[in-house]
Amino acid sequence: MSKTVLIGSQWGDEGKGKIIDVLTADVDWVVRYQGGNNAGHTVKIGDEKYVLHLTPSGILREHCKCVIGNGLVVDIVGLQSELSELVERGIKLKDRLFISDRAHIVLPYHKALDGTKEGNLEEGKKIGTTKRGIGPCYMDKADRIGLRIGDILEADFLDRVRALTADKNTIIESMGGEPLDIDEVVKDISEAAEYLKPFIRDTIPMLNEAVKNDDEILFEGAQGVMLDIDFGTYPFVTSSSTGAGGAPAGSGIAPGAIDRCIGIVKAYTTRVGEGPFPTELFDEMGMHIAKVGDEFGATTGRPRRCGWFDAVVAKYSAMVGGINEWALMKLDVLDAVETIKVCVAYECDGERIDTVPASISKLGRCKPIYEEFKGWNTPTTECTSWDELPEQCRKYVEYIEEITGVKVSILSVGPKRSSTLVLDR
């Protein structure tokens, strides 16, 4: 039985929620290991649509057990709302959902600090944060002053929330922000904490026992490799390790237990927020991809920036993430495109570059070097096998495999579960 990590290989929003939902048909556990509710996974089941921010996508499969791992920062008020909605829609949580007592808590002052700091930055220097308090919460974790989920069970928890909120109000006011109503904060946190108490566990022994029993485990990443705190387009990144290396640290299992890594990659490239994006399109083609692909953030609703497939980014992500399979998403969005381009390298200051530079300034000066492909001009949404795909479409997929050195094992030609081809070639 495999221990699989599923990660985004671009700037997030690649469609991880759908593929996780497809894969969970055959797994025992689904584990979120990093990030917070700044990520949103959209899953469509028949006519039903679910947007999950903190809850692992396996919750939509009755047989799956789900873990919110120690590597996350958890907005407990947001999680209470999310879980309440799932219960209202008939999803069972008892004995299926477990929250690590080592995960850190996102509190209202983290969000206030996040929004105030971003608002104070000059244009061109903004990070593009979702203002969900993720960065400030990870800052408190590193500064060793954060509150963890396990602290909810302590008698002095609300006293600590009150004291920390008062301290943070001083900082918020010094930055020009509005101080929080401490009594209101304590009330909201108290209600959420009480709701979540039945789900709190020491999940590390639980997951290691699952590994020992050879259970099928899927580790669900959020965002994408290019938003990784170390390997992404820093500083326009998130605050955690989004790649496969984050899974052991964010769940408490040994690194050697992981034996499979699937990278989610779109047939083109998108990103939300600020930062360099070498293949970004500013013309009608960019607008066409955005419209057909419904490219709006699941969490923020912000329009995504769209561009051609960037093989430099894909190869880099495969290298640092240990990706050995692609799940290629939204191929159908290109069905009516006459000429399709793939970025095979960059040109910067007269030099050809074949990898992603660490310097954000240098990446911003990079110009894409393209290969062009004839489009297939045929709908693919009804295709149910590799052989049913148009010839030019197959050639495009095969080229992506060739240039990245990674085989495509899953192909998505539409948003529904049924629009997913598992390839065996």
| Two tokens, residue 320 | 């640092």
Q: How far is CA 242 from CA 11, 219, 257, 266, in A?
A: 10, 11, 18, 17
Neighbours of 16 (CB within 10 A): 26
Tally DSSP H helices, then E strands, for the chain.
12, 20
**Catalytic one of 26, 28, 41, 159:** 41
d(CA 58, CA 240): 22
Residue 86, both tokens: 């799932």
Catalytic residue list contains 228: no
Distance between CA atoms of residues 138 and 105, nearest Å: 9
Structure token pair of residue 207: 């997951």
Q: Which of 227, 226, 406, 410 is nearest to 331 (CA)?
A: 410
Tokens of residue 126, six digits: 């903004």
Active site residue 63: no
**β-pair partners for 372:** 341
Q: Are strands 269-271 and 305-307 parallel, antiparallel or unpaired?
A: antiparallel
Two structure tokens written together for 299: 């969490």
As a whole number of angstroms, the distance between CA 15 and CA 46 comes to 17
Residues near 106 by Cβ (< 8 Å), separated by ≥ 6?
Answer: 36, 37, 73, 74, 75, 76, 78, 132, 133, 134, 137
Alpha helices, DSSP H, located in 322-376: 360-365
**CB count in 10 Å sphere of residue 10:** 27
Selected catalytic residue, list 13, 21, 310, 332: 13
How many residues in the chain?
425
Chain center to CA of 186: 30
CA distances from residue 416 to 22, 42, 115, 382 in whole angstroms, order as listed? 10, 11, 35, 11
Active-site amino acid positions = 13, 41
